[in-house]
Structure 1
């Protein structure tokens, strides 16, 4: 994932997102920080940036250039998110899936299905996960490596993903120990979409 983000206040021009930058605030992204947590911090930085921009505009003579010209060669556009973007592709690396969970909390949320033997698949939202070292590379992506009552470890395309908290369809978020007491997941079971 990205290491840094920020907020920018630009002076409006006829072209979309092309005006000069009046104020910029950058901030590092915490290694476990979710979008919801980051959004709170960015809102506070946005207040500071707007205050700075208002002060600059109040002093502006409306003749001389204002702000810093944007380098259009560095411009990028973020894609519009869809609910389906939250689906876990277990062929991706554990790091990519962990970053997906962090980025899509609270929306569109990161989800997968527990492909239960002899029962309908159960939709599960992943709430808190971490990267785990896997000593046996023979597990397939999405396959449960370990479900011991306190830990749920799932194989990915590269490494393992330890699931600490999740939300079964129609239920509240629960830690993994509570989930495993009520749902009999075993090593070898599979997750997928």
Structure 2
């Protein structure tokens, strides 16, 4: 696995070794030892999630203020634009975001430690999105920052139509008013 640092310390893109030929491909999607070596600490995952979304669906920007989750995310079908936003007030990159395309063809994964809001936007007809979390889902602690917040100014791709949002996501809090990590 190749770990690539991003402009935000702690956020990594991970690129597995892919072995392919005319029959298809093989890759190791997760290896605990290699992952811990890449991030420089021992991380324990407690939950795996799988969502399927259609083109134009935007999910996020989600986080849990208590029981904060680190997330390792990837796409097994389709293409998404994935975003991590640093919401750790004490961080020198507070309020900055990193975005990357994750797809079934690039096999890239994104690791974001606890302290980040997360969202993704589906660019293909549909996408299967998988993620491992370091804490269990706790809806009572979940928060949502507005995907289109002017202060964050995330450069979401333009697919020619407005994003499809859940009620929760359409009512996201402005970044300046959001509860964040110290």
Q: Mark the structure with the bigger radius of gyration.
A: 1
TM over 0.5: no
Name the structure with the higher helix share: 1
Give the TM-score normalised by the residue count of structure 1.
0.25
Give the TM-score normalised by the residue count of structure 2.
0.25
Name the structure with the higher strand share: 2
- Select the structure with the greater relative contact order (CA < 8 A; seq sep ≥ 6): 2
